[in-house]
Amino acid sequence: MKQLETDVIVVAAGLSGLAACCAAAEGGARVVCFEKASTTGGAANMGMGPLGVGSRIQREHMIPLSPIEAFRKHMYFTHYHVDPRLVRDYYFKSGDTIDWLCNMGVEFVGVQRAFGADEATRPYSDGEFTWHVCKPEGGGVPGPRAASGMMKKMTEYAQSLGVEFYLETPVKKLIQEDGAVVGVIAVDKNGEEIECRAPSTIVATGGFGDNPEMIKEYTGFEFGKTIFNFAVPGMKGDGMKMCWEAGAAKTPIIMEIMYQLPDNMNHFIIEGAFRQPCLWVDRNGNRFMPEDQIGNTTFTGNAISHLPGKVAFSIFDSKALKRYKKHGPDIISHVHPHDLYDHFDEQWERDLAAGYEPIAQGDTIEELAKNAGIDVDGLVAQVEEYNAMCDAGYDELFEKNRAYMQKIEKGPFYCCRQTVGAYGSLGGVKINHKMEAVNEDARPIPGLYCVGTDACSIYGDSYPFVLSGNTMGFCLNSGRIAGENAAAKVGF
Ligand SMILES: Cc1cc2nc3c(=O)[nH]c(=O)nc-3n(C[C@H](O)[C@H](O)[C@H](O)COP(=O)(O)OP(=O)(O)OC[C@H]3O[C@@H](n4cnc5c(N)ncnc54)[C@H](O)[C@@H]3O)c2cc1C
């Protein structure tokens, strides 16, 4: 077995792990980082950008939100069910962390809370301007993967500080002596074991989005049946299991809920096209929320998770499709292409011919209901009631914005089944505000830190969309704080 010795071990080179590497190395520590995948960056390669409060960019844009206001807003949102000290330290660090990234050469297009739709329908319209959206490498409009350039810069910066990366070398076990974590056992791509020892180990393995058993056990959802989350390969819950084994307490775990289609990245046009305030029903044909709210993916995902079969159906008619093609969507998505209706027919025909299950078409409402798997009588009755309310210009049920009260009347009719999705899991390992893993009595496990989504239990039951960019924000800042503390511990 190969033997190594260092000051700080970082388990994984995703977002929180890289932040920990950079901060610990800046603090003067020798750092060894073991990563399971063949590249660095983890799920963050797929994202768009992190939260910050009080950054240089915000000051330049005269955005006055202060860390203490963000703290209060967060605690109000979570009803004080989460650790106030941890939340406080995160927000107070977050503005400086954006400046830190800028100093590494990371570029942001600006700071966002939402996109170009009217106030009533804007996704996250009651949010603050906290989301620092990364400039895509090579330019263009930011979308999924815009943050991959940030991950590259962080990796390069860590390498320039002397961090040693071992790729395709997952950590299998923490080494514990007299209660303290003193190192790890990793296995390289040739199957050789590496024993690495250090006074501090920072675990950052990104949750269990790719582990259906753990998803079922800890959240009740069934992957591929009741939830269609991003299952980023390798996110198996390794870090959580290792920390629990070392004596760390468990926290409640949630999925970071939104809504998405199965295999959504291959059906992205269809997914985006149906995120409109048209007619949304459950499988009995009943409306269940004011459709002008469906831009809020957290709310809509939560609502769908309480419907029969955990599915919803969004429906529009040919008139609406013509209008979307001519004037654009009613709600502009913040992740889907803005010209998606130009490509709708092509993808629709292709997916329909291939039998892509979530979509259905019908020349009559009855036919649509049958093809989509909605109760026929229920949908016919709901459409009649809805159309009558459209004629009256007033939604008696939910008072939906009247601009979107458009009748469902001209076939063919189009339908897309919507399912619960998630970015991954959140929470698992109990930590304190220094990012130390703690036991049931809130006593630190000596030598052990846990950061990122493995330890992100600060949201209560739902992602706090009012302060967007929050998961990347927490991952970055928890990693950075742990890296600084671990370096300080070895006396630098
Ligand atoms: C499509 C998508 C878009 C998103 N967009 C945003 C956004 O715009 N803003 C935002 O705030 N959040 C966003 N998120 C969420 C955010 O990207 C994640 O929450 C964040 O990356 C998690 O960081 P992490 O460090 O906990 O884990 P990750 O960045 O996922 O890294 C975990 C790493 O651990 C490694 N690993 C696992 N097990 C082991 C092991 N045993 N040994 C060694 N290494 C191991 C993995 O290979 C991986 O590299 C998005 C997520 C997705 C999927």
pLDDT band at 335 (very low <50, low <70, confident <90, very high): confident
Span from the CA of 151 to the centroid of ligand 1 (angstroms)? 11
pLDDT band at 112, cuts 50/70/90? confident
Residue nearest to atom 34 of ligand 1 (CA): 205
Mutation pick for ligand 1 pocket among 155, 254, 472 (CB with most ligand atoms within 8 Å): 472
Distance 471 CA to ligand 1 centre (A): 9
Question: From the alpha carbon of 42, which atom of ligand 1 is closest?
Answer: 49
| Cβ pair 133, 109 in contact under 8 A | yes
Pocket of ligand 1 (CB under 6 A): 11-17, 34-37, 42-44, 46-50, 144, 170-171, 204-206, 230, 232, 234, 238, 423-424, 452-453, 469-473, 475
Tokens of 284: 């009995």
Ligand 1 mean position to 16 CA, how many Å?
Answer: 8
CA of 424 to the centre of ligand 1 (A): 8
Alpha carbon distance 126, 316 (integer Å)? 27
pLDDT digits (tens, 9 = 90+) for 267-325: 999 999 999 999 999 999 999 999 988 988 899 999 999 999 999 999 999 999 999 99
**Residue owning the nearest CA to atom 19 of ligand 1:** 471
Residue 173 has pLDDT above 90, yes or no: yes
Of residues 233 and 334, more confidently modeled: 233
Span 185-199, mean pLDDT?
A: 98
- The pLDDT score that the predictor gives to residue 116 is 38
Residue 272: C-alpha distances to residues 120, 283, 428 (Å): 19, 21, 32
**Distance of CA 247 from the midpoint of ligand 1 (Å):** 24
Residue 148 contacts residue 137 (beta carbons within 8 Å): yes
Identify the CA nearest to 382 among candidates 311, 278, 285.
285
Choosing from 91, 155, 475 the residue with most ligand 1 atoms within 8 A of its CB, the one to mutate for a pocket test is: 475
Preceding amide of 412 cis, omega within 30? yes
Alpha carbons within 13 angstroms on the beta-carbon side of residue 149 total: 20
Is it the case that residue 238 has pLDDT exceeding 70? yes
The whole-number pLDDT of residue 491 equals: 73
Instruction: Say which CATH class 2-211+231-250+427-489 falls into.
Output: alpha beta
β-strands 200-203, 8-11: how paired?
A: parallel
Q: 201, 17 in Cβ contact below 8 A?
A: no
Rounded to whole angstroms, the Cα distance separating 419 from 311 reads 5
Q: How far is the CA of 92 from the centre of ligand 1 (A)?
A: 22
Residue-averaged pLDDT of the chain = 95
pLDDT in the model for residue 285: 98
Q: In this structure, what is the dihedral angle of CA atoms 75, 80, 81, 87, given to the nearest 10 degrees?
A: 40
Query: Can you spell out the DSSP letters for 257-296?
Result: EEEE-TTGGGGHHHHHHT-SSSEEE-TTS-B-S-GGGTT-
Which numbered atom of ligand 1 lies nearest the CA of 456?
26
The DSSP letter of residue 163 is P
Give the pLDDT confidence score for residue 492 in this predicted structure: 62
Span of 123-127, 184-188, 256-260, 334-338 with lowest mean pLDDT: 123-127
All structural domains of the chain with their residue ranges: 2-211+231-250+427-489, 259-421
CB 387 within 8 A of CB 379: no
Using the mean position of ligand 1's atoms as its centre, give its distance from the Cα of residue 270 in Å: 26
Out of 9, 10, 35, give the residue to mutate to test ligand 1, the one with the largest number of ligand atoms within 8 Å of its CB.
35
365 CA to middle of ligand 1, Å? 42
- Asked if residues 457 and 249 have their Cβ atoms less than 8 Å apart, the reply is no
Same CATH topology for 2-211+231-250+427-489 and 259-421: the answer is no
The CATH architecture one would assign to domain 259-421 is Alpha-Beta Complex (3.90)
